[in-house]
């Protein structure tokens, strides 16, 4: 799950992440904000590159707000400390995979894919004859 997320992030950004663990690469929130803005420009405020912990946590919080705006379900979000302190990386990976699915459902998105595409409604109308034959 982590290797797929890393590969998708690198494809989205068009560049390789560093040699650090995925948690350490994402910890400051800059990469996550850049991904959200790749999906929809301006959905996430420009991330701060300051090394201060509260600025990095603000970046993560802004990314999570952008995820909500993009349509990521609330159950696929994570707590800021889950990433910043590395307390719950599985939740972070679930979020990245969910964002990949949501991105595919956007009509203006033609970037790389991650995970299965979300289902779309396919309403059908049957008349009485079709229902009787059915």
Residues 48-106: pLDDT tens digits? 999 999 999 999 999 999 999 999 999 999 999 999 999 999 999 999 999 999 999 88
For 56, 62, 66, the CA distances from 52, given in Å and listed in that order, are 6, 16, 21
Give the pTM. 0.85
pLDDT band of residue 119 (cuts 50, 70, 90) is low
Contacts of 30 (CB under 8 A, 6+ apart): 47, 48, 49, 59
């Amino acid at each position: 799950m982590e290797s797929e997320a890393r590969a998708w992030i690198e494809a989205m950004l068009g560049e390789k992440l560093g040699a650090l663990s995925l948690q350490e690469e994402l910890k400051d929130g800059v990469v996550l904000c850049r991904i959200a803005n790749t999906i929809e420009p301006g959905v996430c405020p420009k991330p701060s590159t300051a090394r201060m912990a509260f600025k990095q946590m603000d970046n993560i919080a802004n990314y999570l707000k952008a995820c909500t705006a993009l349509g990521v379900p609330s159950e696929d979000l994570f707590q800021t400390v889950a990433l910043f302190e590395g307390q719950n990386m599985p939740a972070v990976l679930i979020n990245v995979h969910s964002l990949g699915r949501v991105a595919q459902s956007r009509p203006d998105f033609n970037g790389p894919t991650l995970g299965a595409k979300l289902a779309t409604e396919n309403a059908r109308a049957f008349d009485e004859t079709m229902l009787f034959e059915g």
